[in-house]
Structure 1
Amino acid sequence: MDTQDSVNQHVFDKARSAVIDINDTEAAEAAREALDMGLDPVDVIEQGFVEGMRTMGDMFEEGKLSLIQILAASKTMNIGIEILKTKVIATNDNTGFFGNLVVNY
């Protein structure tokens, strides 16, 4: 992994951790950092925020989390996605949002 990939992975990990830790401030920071770095917002959503929710979902299925924690994590994810959403729409005519679902067509 080269240096740039490592830096990108740091942002993805920060977004993922923000969801897992239910840290709204960190989610917003990760999204803004990604935009400042010129990262593809869809990559940040998929490899960061969605991965965090996947981890939370797995923990919920294992009985380690309550539904309230899942809902709180979802709110945290939404904070990051809202920041990234305008950039996705502005840079890609073939992308659409349906709630929090990003569709490339």
Structure 2
Amino acid sequence: MNENDSTKRELINKAKNSVINFNDAEATNVAMETIRSGIDPVDIIEEGFIEGMKTIGDGFESGKMSLMDILTASKTMNKGISLLKPAAISAHEDSCFFGNLMLSL
């Protein structure tokens, strides 16, 4: 594993944990660090922020999380994604966003 892969894996884990822990500041930091590092923001969105939301959703389904937890986690996720969206669009000119959904053309 090279340094870039290690940095990417670390950012993915931080993004996921920021959502799970409802940490808006960490989500913002991860997004800014992703942009500075040149790592594909779509990877951080898909493998980090969205996976964090899946974990929250699983917790809700099992009765360990409340609807308020889902709403709080989605607010955290959106903080990170809103910062990464412009970088994702410029990195993937053959793609387009509809809300938080990205389509590759």
TM-score bucket of the superposed structures, by smaller chain: over 0.9
Match of 1:104 in 2: 104
**TM-score after normalising by structure 1:** 0.95
Aligned mates of 2:3, 2:88 — CA distance in 1: 25
Give the percent of matched residue pairs that are identical in Structure 1 and Structure 2: 50
Task: After superposition, give the CA deviation of every residue in 1:10-48 in whole Å (9 maximum; x if it has no partner).
Answer: 000000000000000000000000111001011010011
Task: Please identify runs of 4+ aligned residues in structure 1 that moved more than 6 A.
Answer: none
Q: Which amino acid aligns with 1:47?
A: E
Task: After superposition, give the CA deviation of every residue in 1:60-93 in whole Å (9 maximum; x if it has no partner).
Answer: 1000000011011001000000000011122322
Q: Please give the root-mean-square deviation of Cα atoms over the aligned residues, in Å.
A: 1.0
Asked whether the equivalents of residues 19 and 74 of structure 2 are also in contact (C-alpha less than 8 Å), the reply is: yes
Q: Which amino acid aligns with 2:46?
A: E
**TM-score after normalising by structure 2:** 0.95
Q: How many residues align?
A: 105
Residue 38 (structure 1) aligned with residue 38 (structure 2): yes
Residue 6 (structure 1) aligned with residue 6 (structure 2): yes
In structure 1, the gaps of 5 or more residues are none
